[in-house]
Amino acid sequence: MDDEWQAGGFGIYIHWPFCQAKCPYCDFNSHVAARIDSARWMSSYLSEIRRLAPETEGRTVRSVFFGGGTPSLMEPELVDTILSEVRRHWSVANDWEVTLEANPASSDAGRFTGYRQAGVNRLSMGFQALNDADLKRLGRLHTVAEAEAAFAVARGCFERVSFDLIYARQEQTIAAWETELQRAIALSPDHLSLYQLTIEDGTAFGDRFARGKLRGLPDESLAADMFARTQEICEAAGMPAYEVSNHCRPGQESQHNLIYWRYGDYLGIGPGAHGRISHGGNRSATESHRAPGKWLDEVEARGSGESVRVMLSRTESADEHLLMGLRLTEGIDIARHARLAGYPLDPEKIAFLQSLGAVRIQNGRLATTAEGRLVLNAVLRELTADA
């Protein structure tokens, strides 16, 4: 099991926790701050990179992902310094992917050239909707016109551009979503992340929902129909799903996210960031302090922003492998799963799921079917349930 992580590769996630405003649906670790001490943040990011580099010495970095929050609020000089430090401590793949998440506001687009010069080669833009009324309802600060203008700027700066949309929104019809999705595809993105709106506890939407004041949400049947039409429209446009919520043109998959889904190793750097690190056949899960001030204080005072490090059992590792890998249309390597778990998947459970048309086996891989991805949680419950 010493090198099982190599099947997924190795990447680095950098979390920038700040936003201009907190969106009502968002449960990510994001914060609004009046003032940010950039020099202090730079010092802390570099300190964490130097702390973690010896643990992963000799590995090749396939991807770096700047997530948030809103990383397009970072100064390009900070991004440049972080990437230079990464190259100083690891070898990087010739075709390494460096992604930065961005808001499609004009102020953010003004930094795009700087990010490209720093080494970013892929931009992931948070459109969320192509409808001004719904953008406002979602708490977004940009308009559709601004999003499309920022996308045009991004196209001129970056080799690869992706954007996100949320569907199954309040009062949204299938026809309206079809029109919106076709408009998105007409922009010719390389990659689309298309998420159903989920109501999370601890968010403004979650609070409203609990008080019965979030009206017009689609029922499960309508949401499922929207998911099905999403698959059909994207596939017809040459952007089939390679993961439950992600679609792309051939060869444009998010290499960083594939590290997660293929159960590779990754470092999580920044407030609230999670990581997975393998050593000597053991795999550890790491977490960092969530509060930005706490994370900074701990890095400066203790030399580490890490709040949790726990060794995963073989069963936990195998279950994570299933949880992540069955999201992919390619599925999982059955033999690898047996090596992780120490025992094979139950053939009777697989046969039962096959009889329902929820999974298929081909070339030694177990994958969910289109029907199975609609009920993925049920498939996972069946495969991970105690014998």
Does 70 reside within a domain? yes
In a domain, 293, yes or no: no
For residues 104 and 174, membership in a common domain is answered with yes
103 with 183, same domain? Answer: yes
- What span, in angstroms and rounded, lies between the C-alpha atoms of 129 and 169? 9
- Whether 288 is in a domain gets the answer no
Q: Is residue 285 part of a domain?
A: no
Q: Which residues of the chain have pLDDT under 70?
A: 1-2, 20-34, 106-108, 198-218, 385-387
Q: Residue 350: which CATH number?
A: 1.10.10.920
In a domain, 267, yes or no: no
* Residue 360 falls inside a structural domain: yes
Whether 239 and 328 share a structural domain: no
Torsion sign across C-alpha atoms 43, 267, 160, 374: negative
Residue 367 β-bridge partners: 360
pLDDT at residue 3, as a whole number = 77
Residue 91: inside a domain, yes or no?
yes
The residue among 212, 236, 259 that closes a domain is: 259
Q: Please give the backbone phi and psi of residue 138, each rounded to the nearest 5 degrees, phi first.
A: -85, 0
State the CB neighbour count (10 A cutoff) for residue 113. Answer: 14
In 3D space, the residue among 330, 329, 324, 326 whose CA is nearest the CA of residue 350 turns out to be 326
- Is residue 386 assigned to a domain? yes
Do 41 and 125 lie in one domain? The reply is: yes
Judgement on whether residues 324 and 221 belong to the same structural domain of the protein: no
Same domain, 32 and 172: yes
Q: Do 50 and 153 belong to one domain?
A: yes
Domain residues for 361? 314-387
β-strand 365-368 against 332-333: which pairing, if any?
Answer: antiparallel
Report strand pairing: 160-167 vs 191-196: parallel
For residues 96 and 168, state if they share a domain. Answer: yes
Residue 255 and residue 318 in one domain: no
Could you give the number of structural domains in the chain? 2
Looking at residue 132, what is its pLDDT? 86
| Among the listed residues 329, 146, 362, the one whose alpha carbon sits nearest the alpha carbon of residue 250 | 329
Shared domain for 36 and 133, answered yes or no, is yes
* Residue 165 and residue 88 share a domain: yes
Which stretches does DSSP call E strand in 53-152?
Answer: 60-68, 91-102, 122-128
Are the C-beta atoms of residues 229 and 174 closer than 8 Å to each other? yes
User: Scanning the structure block, which residue is given the tokens 């099982």?
Assistant: 4
User: What's the CATH code of the domain at 111?
Assistant: 3.20.20.70
Write down which residue in 243, 259, 275 finishes a domain: 259
For 268-286, write each residue's pLDDT tens digit: 999 999 999 999 889 999 9
pLDDT the model gives residue 363:
96
Last residue of a domain, one of 244, 259, 274: 259
- Is residue 252 located within the same domain as residue 333? no
